[in-house]
């Protein structure tokens, strides 16, 4: 369930909003004059969101490559490359 708070709580109850953002691990929707204005979230939640966006971006590239006919690499090719990299760094 979304957490919705008035903008006055940012000024009057900033610590409470901070605690809520960390405990709920969900974004908090801030309203101004009864309408949505902004979203507040913890840095941890923001980092998770950024990682998801990065993953979705990479998946979109992979889907586009597949749609254009790119066959990619086999699992054995990938494993061979990984083993080679591991030997080089050891």
Q: What is the pLDDT of residue 90?
A: 75
Residue 1 binned pLDDT confidence (cut-offs 50, 70, 90): confident
Confidence of residue 89 (pLDDT cuts 50, 70, 90): confident
Q: Which two tokens stand for residue 5?
A: 């708070």
Q: What pLDDT, on a 0 to 100 scale, did the predictor assign at position 44? A: 95
For residue range 6-48, what is the model confidence (pLDDT) as tens digits? 999 999 999 999 999 999 989 999 999 999 999 999 999 999 9
Q: Do 15 and 5 touch, CB atoms closer than 8 A? A: no
Task: Burial-class residue 75 by CB neighbours within 10 Å (0-12, 13-18, 19+).
Answer: exposed
Sheet of 3-6, strand order: 3-6, 28-32, 35-40
């Amino acid at each position: 369930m979304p957490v919705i708070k008035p903008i006055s709580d940012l000024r009057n109850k900033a610590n409470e909003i901070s605690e809520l953002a960390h405990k709920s691990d969900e974004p908090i929707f801030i309203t101004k004059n009864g309408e949505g204005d902004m979203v507040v979230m913890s840095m941890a939640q923001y980092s998770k969101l950024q990682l998801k966006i990065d993953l979705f971006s990479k998946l979109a590239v992979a889907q586009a490559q597949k749609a254009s006919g790119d066959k990619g690499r086999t699992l054995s090719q990938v494993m061979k490359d990984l083993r080679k990299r591991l030997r080089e760094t050891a």
